[in-house]
Structure 1
Amino acid sequence: MKQRAFTLGVTTGVTKIETKHSLKYPSSWPQYILVGSFAAACYMNGLGGEFVHDDVPAVVLNKDVVASSRRMLAAFGDDFWGTPMMDSRSHKSYRPLTTLTFRANYLMVGLEPFWFHGTNVFLHVLATIMFTKVCVKVARMTSPFATLAGLMFAVHPIHTEAVTGIVGRADVLACVFFLASLLTYHDSTKKCRLWTSIIFGGLSILAKETGLTIFLVNLIFDIYQRWHLKKTSVVRWTKEKSTYIKKTFIVFLTFSVLIILRLVLLRGSLPKFTRGDNPAAFHPSIQVRFLTFSYIASFNFWLLLCPAHLSHDWQMGSIPLITSLLDFRNLLTVLIFVLISTLLLRTTSGPKTKSLNQDPEAKHSENTTLVLGLLILVIPFLPGSNLVTTAGFVLAERVLYIPSMGFILLVVQGLRNIWCISGRHRQTLLSLILFLLIVHGLQCVARNKDWKSRESLLRAGVRTLPHNAKMHYNFANFLRDSGRVDLAKAHYHTAIRLWPTYASAHNNLGTLIKNGDEAKKHFLLAIKYNQGHLNAHYNLGQLYRKQNRTYEAEQMLQKCIVISPNFTLGYVELVKLKLMNESNISDLLKIIVRQSTEAEYAIMYADYLNQKGNYMLALKYYNSALSVCNCKLEAFTGAATILRRLGMQSRLFQLITR
């Protein structure tokens, strides 16, 4: 029934185009219900998924989300992962609004992934409906083709990472406010609500940094829409021109101020990425970097056109560097560049179809759609393209959530032009469109299954990108945690074969190898390729300690503390080695207790004080351990022994009663 209704709607709409060429088709709630239903239906089977991949550090382990005593305003001082922005280790991704939505989910339902996924699906439905409205109100599409655009956006498989991956909420939420800003600025049926649009733009930035691009889209599209003002006399100063210039100045000023504020939030340091995150960014040749990044931008466009192979992680060799102009992949870059250039030229010339040439308003409508499509496709994509600034990834499908709207506008405009000249072949074209929607919808459903669990996601990643070293490394970590050691070793070896300098793979493989000399070789290789690798130094120190090589063990543990002064385990192991005099051991134990809230370390220090006869201070730390965890038998026994030794019978009775 839905397909039949859609067919009748498109046929009726196109008939009106051919007869009256009227462009003012009112949008209706049925079309919004239709696109919203499709958007929800495609992601229903993803609601039962777990916290996977980046969901764990961004939600489960993020103190801004799960810490009950954490102040809500703390999210405005931390990055997306809960690290203070001023910290040198900060990722510098500032998305407090998204973090607050995670916290709202947590306060309402705890760490129940169903509701986190449900919120993402709701936001996707909302974005789909708003995009459909933008197609009607801003892009000036007829209602049937606006509905088609909404349906294509609802079911496009490239969106699965943004919608089914909980962390992708940043992109979806930013898109909702992006569209709200676009609508309030350009809705042709209402007066421009400038400050409302600016507020929505600001909220989009607080959801994700790419929301900043809405100000450029609004500004450039407004210049295009009002280009006729340039044709008026320079001498003649009209009220309309004055209002337009004032509005342009306000938008540009707001954009500039927000950029300055974003730079201030960096706190004088840029985020630190590794070569594995983005290999091309570390290549010394400008030509290699330019060719590779240009190809990657073209490859993103190809994924929008043909999303046959999707992955949650495109790092570490997923896309080999382009080191020569003769590389055949440069053809795709040239092809995409020619295509975009052709579309730009198209906006300055009229359509070639006879029916459209007869109506200047229809011509302007097509150009409006093309311009808006190109702006939304290109400008929001630039921050993650590596062509403007270095990103911490090679390619991320979720960053295509907003640009995909521009791509869909261009595709639907092309289909509209084909429809107008297809004549008796329209049924065939309609069948192909319906087939595409069904295939994309089924692909979304299938892709959602990959995001069900950590194992299914990693298996899908290895299957899609078998030459991605990080994919094998992450899968090996899962196999190690699952107790499948032999298979884990095989995938660690594969990761090292694909990326010989992969320090973490060497380190983790070393922890699984029983042969001490072979394990030592991998720990040393990890340190060689990453001199600041904390775990490799610690694991090598542990290996030396087991071999009774106390001096080498001490050197490794001391290096751990140099790398990370707050590394509690390093201090603990140094105490166990008993390499220092009594005063040094006491100082180390104080550091351990001060840096950790775990009861075991307080008990360790209390035991030490008890042995030295400092009973009252020992009692203090035993009680401190019990306040953290009242089921610690060692702390209870130690405290009771001291109270009995000191003859404090009443306090001993209270302790036993408690």
Structure 2
Amino acid sequence: MMEQNNNVCKKQHVAISAEVYKCKNRWIIIGSYFIITFVAFGCYFNSLDGDFVHDDIFAIKNNPDVTGKNSIYSIFGDDFWGKSITDETSHKSYRPLTIVVFRLNYFLNGGKPFSFHVVNVVLHALVSVLFTHVSHNVFLVSRETSLSAGLLFAVHPVHTEAVSGIVGSADLLAGVFFLLSILLYSKSLLVNWDLGSTECPQTQRPQLLVVSLMLAAVSTLCKEHGITVLAVCAVLDVAIFSRKGILKMFSGGSTRHLMPLFHRLFYIFLTFSILLGIRLWIMNGTLPEFQEQDNPASFSPVLLTRILTYNYLYVFNSLLLIFPMTLCYDWQVSSIPLVENITDPRNLATIIFYIIIMLIVYRSYINFMSQEGENFNIPLIALSLLIIPFLPASNLFFRVGFVVAERILYISSMGSCLLVGYGLSLILHKAKDTEPVIKAIVVAYLLVLAAKTWSQNQVWHSRESLFRSGVRVLPHNSKVHYNLGNYLKDTGQNTEAIWHYRKSLELYAKHASAFNNLGTLLENKTEAESCFRNALKIYPKHKGAFVNLGNLLISNGEHQKGVNLLKQALDLDPHYSEALLSLGKIMMDLHRWSEAEQYFKAAITEKPDFAKAYNFYGVYHFKQGNYQDAVTCYRQAYTIDQSDILAMANAADSLKQLGKTSEAEKLLRQALSIRPDPKVVDQLGMMYFHAGKKAESLAVYEEMIDRSSNNTDALLHYANVLISMQELGKAESLVHRILADSPGNVDALRVAAVIYGIRSKPKVAIAYLEEAIQQCKLLQRGKSFLADMKYDLANHYKDLQQYDQALMLYTEALQLNPAKSKAHLNLGAIYHLKGQFSKARKHYEIVLKVDPNDDLVRDNLVKLTRLEKQKNGKRG
């Protein structure tokens, strides 16, 4: 009886011990996943306040499929950037499910970058946990090995582009479904490793197999290389799950026992074929067009150069996974010089790389063929994860649009992390005496990587930080100089932008877009035209260069040539809104109003969020006198682009014409709160001035001066306000400041003459005006403007009683502008004083024809008549 009780107690003890172990193991699992999640969030926490940068702007901010401008159905017919995937210029990247996620996020948070960053960090943490889970539960590595691999994956700096760059959501989403597909594929099989693997496991739960294949499709619709999970599953099945059956077949056995495997492989192949067929059908069987700068090696006519360079690039990508200390958002053009001959020392790195790969393959082969070996061949699994997802980016099957892209390594890095984790476990197993030292080294390595990731996140914080980091890390890369030039151009830092565009062309003379963008900033029109023509010579399909060259020729008076170039841009792309807008502007300048309106409407139709098109359509309505319609267009422009202060300023002009000065003032103040633009300050100051609010006008200009504005027009208007308020000293100082920077400024010279005229210093005023007239002739200013200058100069000679000189200048002013009636008045007055009454009467009568109610002229005519009678009386 006592023995029976002891047996019962032992059984209960064993049961309790098993339950305790199970419970303890569950908490270990939860703890490891918590650590992975915490580390992943910790590494990327400082990325959450980042902005939309680089590709984010085109894929999210300017993508009508994301912002809701296009219908939800258009997502499935467009590429990743919102352009129809059948379009010749489409990038052909088809990721509709990623765009659906973007669109939902945009709808829920109003397009703020914060929530997009949160989603990316959450997805990365989820992928890290899933990878750790799959490593332990599917690949059957030890808990410590899976944790090491998961931690390495979570902190790896090469992932910053995918996680901190918002468009990397495509890689993260593909990674989630990639791992879920592997997980469910393994769960669909009847495998019990504790009892020993069967020769070929049955498909115990076919519904899970179907879901696994569906998840592979979902991964593919998030990003193209998600399709490679099918090949990974096939390798797992053949080389791991059904290994014993394959070995039996190799030794001469029957293949009947492998039928479950063949069925699964058939379904995998069928799924792959369907996905590939759908993809080719969507693209109309065409591949995207890339330029040489995108992937120079693929354009090399020398086969040896292509082979050597491609193989070295595989080495380079592998080094990024092991030593990710040099990272850059763009590795195009000259970042990695081509390997053009076999004597290049980089070929030694390629040889060593392949020796290592062959050693791993050999170890995998030994493990596979060994009857006594482990069921799970970790080196083979790691190689599969490393190589297979990278194949679409390898240039082996088709040309890709990049040299190196760090985000492409997101899924492939799982293989390297697993390999490192597995290698670490082998080292620890064989060197137990040095285990604390090795673990300390591993922890230090992870901390260094985490620190690099934290630092790299800051690089992705803004456009400026990203582009400046590129120049700092890869100063010999033409593309990073070009991108920084674009940022500087967009922010008005034109001098620095020009330097970087020139540096880009110095490094890579065939960069068509660098020529094009440089041309838009050059003041020398001849040099600008040369840049646009160079861009077209390099890339004859450059739409932007056609438009810019066309606009330049139009500004030079070659209207027909310019219009033809704009139409050529439309021939290349009938939906090109910039060309439509430019044609609208030229038609408006030519007063071909109906054509102008058609082009403006077409530009808006093609690009409903085209703020600039609404702005110019507003200008069209303003010139037509339709001020309310103009206000409507301007408001639409600055609603789309809330930083468009030009549209706000234009709207204020229209509101002023409608008599709504308080609204106009409020709008100008709003524009200045966004950016203190001197032109807007000037507009507000002049509005106050013309409204008789001189004190308010003065306050606006004084605030502008405090900010050290160098806008010449605004400074001159400020000077005129000071003159009107008799603050001649300040006005004089201001004008001298302008002339110190620009000695030949005609308007400043004229204002200086006004100041010295008021101060009764006509000789000084004359000197300024004569210089202004000389400059006016050199600059070929209009006749009307020159007439005004001669009239002012004549007035000063009249004040000095140098009447002959004054008469000559008034006459010249009238020859330039016959409608200048005041010149007739002054001519009449001088002839009146000189006693040449008939000539005086002639000029007085001309003035009266223009203004019959001019009392001064009438009084002068009365006096003239009296003097004529007196003169005639004396003669009599």
Q: TM-score range by the shorter chain?
A: 0.7 to 0.9
Q: 1:414-433, aligned counterparts within 5 Å? A: 414-433=423-442
Do structure 1's residue 168 and structure 2's residue 177 form an aligned pair?
no
Q: 1:146-161, aligned counterparts within 5 Å? A: 146-161=146-161
Do structure 1's residue 450 and structure 2's residue 462 form an aligned pair?
no
Q: Aligned partner of 1:537: which letter?
A: F
SS state at 1:88 partner: coil
**Aligned CA distance change for structure 1 residues 536 and 216 (closer, same or farther; 3 Å):** same
Give yes or no for contact 1:568–1:596 (8 Å, CA) kept in 2: no
Show the counterpart of 1:437: 446
Do structure 1's residue 571 and structure 2's residue 579 form an aligned pair?
no
Q: Aligned partner of 1:229: which letter?
A: G
Show the counterpart of 2:381: 372
**Structure 2: which 5+ runs fail to align?**
1-24, 194-203, 606-612, 640-647, 660-876
Show the counterpart of 1:401: 410
TM-score after normalising by structure 2: 0.64
Which one has a bigger Cα radius of gyration? Answer: 2
Write the deviation string for residues 509-553 of structure 1: whole angstroms up to 9, x where unpaired: 222222222222222222222222233233333333333344543
The Cα of 1:125 is off from its aligned counterpart by 0.5
The Cα of 1:266 is off from its aligned counterpart by 1.4
**Aligned CA distance change for structure 1 residues 620 and 369 (closer, same or farther; 3 Å):** same
Show the counterpart of 1:56: 57
Do structure 1's residue 249 and structure 2's residue 266 form an aligned pair?
yes
Write the deviation string for residues 177-219 of structure 1: whole angstroms up to 9, x where unpaired: 0000111112457956311211211111111110100001101
Q: Aligned partner of 1:424: which letter?
A: D
Show the counterpart of 1:643: none
The Cα of 1:60 is off from its aligned counterpart by 0.5
Between 1:324-333 and 1:509-518, the stretch displaced more is: 509-518
Do structure 1's residue 224 and structure 2's residue 239 form an aligned pair?
yes
Q: State the alpha-carbon separation in 2 of the partners of residues 97 and 369 from structure 1.
A: 32
The Cα of 1:554 is off from its aligned counterpart by 4.0
SS state at 1:568 partner: helix
The Cα of 1:391 is off from its aligned counterpart by 0.7
Q: State the alpha-carbon separation in 1 of the partners of residues 492 and 656 from structure 2.
A: 36
Show the counterpart of 1:335: 352
Between 1:552-561 and 1:114-123, the stretch displaced more is: 552-561
**Aligned CA distance change for structure 1 residues 553 and 639 (closer, same or farther; 3 Å):** same
Show the counterpart of 1:184: 184
Q: Aligned partner of 1:64: which letter?
A: D
Do structure 1's residue 553 and structure 2's residue 562 form an aligned pair?
yes
**Aligned CA distance change for structure 1 residues 116 and 198 (closer, same or farther; 3 Å):** same
Give yes or no for contact 1:506–1:525 (8 Å, CA) kept in 2: yes
Show the counterpart of 1:72: 72
Q: Aligned partner of 1:156: which letter?
A: H
**Aligned CA distance change for structure 1 residues 467 and 149 (closer, same or farther; 3 Å):** same
Give yes or no for contact 1:173–1:204 (8 Å, CA) kept in 2: yes
Give yes or no for contact 1:593–1:605 (8 Å, CA) kept in 2: no
Show the counterpart of 2:216: 201
Write the deviation string for residues 353-403 of structure 1: whole angstroms up to 9, x where unpaired: xxxx9xx87x415x5211110100000001011122211111100010101
Q: State the alpha-carbon separation in 1 of the partners of residues 504 and 512 from structure 2.
A: 10
The Cα of 1:560 is off from its aligned counterpart by 3.5
Q: Aligned partner of 1:202: which letter?
A: A
The Cα of 1:228 is off from its aligned counterpart by 1.4
Do structure 1's residue 87 and structure 2's residue 87 form an aligned pair?
yes
Show the counterpart of 1:304: 321
Show the counterpart of 1:16: none
Give yes or no for contact 1:318–1:467 (8 Å, CA) kept in 2: yes
**Aligned CA distance change for structure 1 residues 422 and 468 (closer, same or farther; 3 Å):** same
Show the counterpart of 1:348: 365
Q: Aligned partner of 1:326: which letter?
A: T
Between 1:471-480 and 1:26-35, the stretch displaced more is: 26-35
Show the counterpart of 1:280: 297
Give yes or no for contact 1:462–1:472 (8 Å, CA) kept in 2: yes
Show the counterpart of 1:465: 474
Give yes or no for contact 1:561–1:570 (8 Å, CA) kept in 2: no
The Cα of 1:347 is off from its aligned counterpart by 1.4
**Aligned CA distance change for structure 1 residues 551 and 245 (closer, same or farther; 3 Å):** closer
Q: Aligned partner of 1:421: which letter?
A: K
Q: Aligned partner of 1:242: which letter?
A: M
Show the counterpart of 1:506: 515
Show the counterpart of 1:271: 288
User: How many matched pairs?
Assistant: 594
Do structure 1's residue 40 and structure 2's residue 41 form an aligned pair?
yes
Q: State the alpha-carbon separation in 2 of the partners of residues 479 and 139 from structure 1.
A: 50
Q: State the alpha-carbon separation in 2 of the partners of residues 134 and 128 from structure 1.
A: 10
SS state at 2:351 partner: helix
Give yes or no for contact 2:155–2:453 (8 Å, CA) kept in 1: yes
* Alignment counterpart, residue 596 of structure 1, candidates 590, 599, 604: 604
Q: State the alpha-carbon separation in 1 of the partners of residues 527 and 313 from structure 2.
A: 39
Give yes or no for contact 1:162–1:172 (8 Å, CA) kept in 2: yes
Give yes or no for contact 2:386–2:415 (8 Å, CA) kept in 1: yes
The Cα of 1:422 is off from its aligned counterpart by 0.8
The Cα of 1:236 is off from its aligned counterpart by 5.7
The Cα of 1:280 is off from its aligned counterpart by 1.1
Q: Aligned partner of 2:601: which letter?
A: V
Show the counterpart of 1:141: 141
**Structure 1: which 5+ runs fail to align?**
1-24, 352-356, 612-617, 641-658
Show the counterpart of 2:847: none
The Cα of 1:302 is off from its aligned counterpart by 0.8
More helix by share: 2
**Aligned CA distance change for structure 1 residues 438 and 625 (closer, same or farther; 3 Å):** closer
The Cα of 1:637 is off from its aligned counterpart by 11
Give yes or no for contact 2:615–2:634 (8 Å, CA) kept in 1: no
Show the counterpart of 1:650: none
SS state at 1:83 partner: coil
> Relative contact order: is structure 1 or structure 2 higher (C-alpha 8 Å, sep ≥ 6)?
1
Q: State the alpha-carbon separation in 2 of the partners of residues 292 and 369 from structure 1.
A: 30
**Aligned CA distance change for structure 1 residues 291 and 601 (closer, same or farther; 3 Å):** same
Do structure 1's residue 293 and structure 2's residue 310 form an aligned pair?
yes
Do structure 1's residue 494 and structure 2's residue 494 form an aligned pair?
no
Show the counterpart of 1:99: 99
Q: State the alpha-carbon separation in 2 of the partners of residues 603 and 457 from structure 1.
A: 36
User: % of aligned pairs identical?
Assistant: 37
What root-mean-square deviation, in Å, do the aligned CA atoms of Structure 1 and Structure 2 show? 2.9
Q: Aligned partner of 1:348: which letter?
A: Y
The Cα of 1:421 is off from its aligned counterpart by 1.1
Q: State the alpha-carbon separation in 2 of the partners of residues 512 and 594 from structure 1.
A: 27
**Aligned CA distance change for structure 1 residues 128 and 546 (closer, same or farther; 3 Å):** same
Q: Aligned partner of 1:296: which letter?
A: L
Show the counterpart of 2:789: none
Between 1:179-188 and 1:53-62, the stretch displaced more is: 179-188
Q: Aligned partner of 2:326: which letter?
A: H
SS state at 2:475 partner: coil
Q: State the alpha-carbon separation in 2 of the partners of residues 604 and 136 from structure 1.
A: 66
TM-score after normalising by structure 1: 0.84
Give yes or no for contact 1:607–1:638 (8 Å, CA) kept in 2: no
**Aligned CA distance change for structure 1 residues 308 and 235 (closer, same or farther; 3 Å):** closer
**Aligned CA distance change for structure 1 residues 528 and 443 (closer, same or farther; 3 Å):** same
Q: Aligned partner of 2:64: which letter?
A: K
**Aligned CA distance change for structure 1 residues 55 and 299 (closer, same or farther; 3 Å):** same
**Aligned CA distance change for structure 1 residues 243 and 562 (closer, same or farther; 3 Å):** closer
The Cα of 1:592 is off from its aligned counterpart by 3.5
Show the counterpart of 2:812: none
SS state at 2:289 partner: coil
The Cα of 1:625 is off from its aligned counterpart by 5.7
Give yes or no for contact 2:91–2:288 (8 Å, CA) kept in 1: yes
Q: Aligned partner of 2:238: which letter?
A: I
The Cα of 1:489 is off from its aligned counterpart by 1.6
Q: Aligned partner of 2:391: which letter?
A: L
Q: State the alpha-carbon separation in 1 of the partners of residues 312 and 525 from structure 2.
A: 45
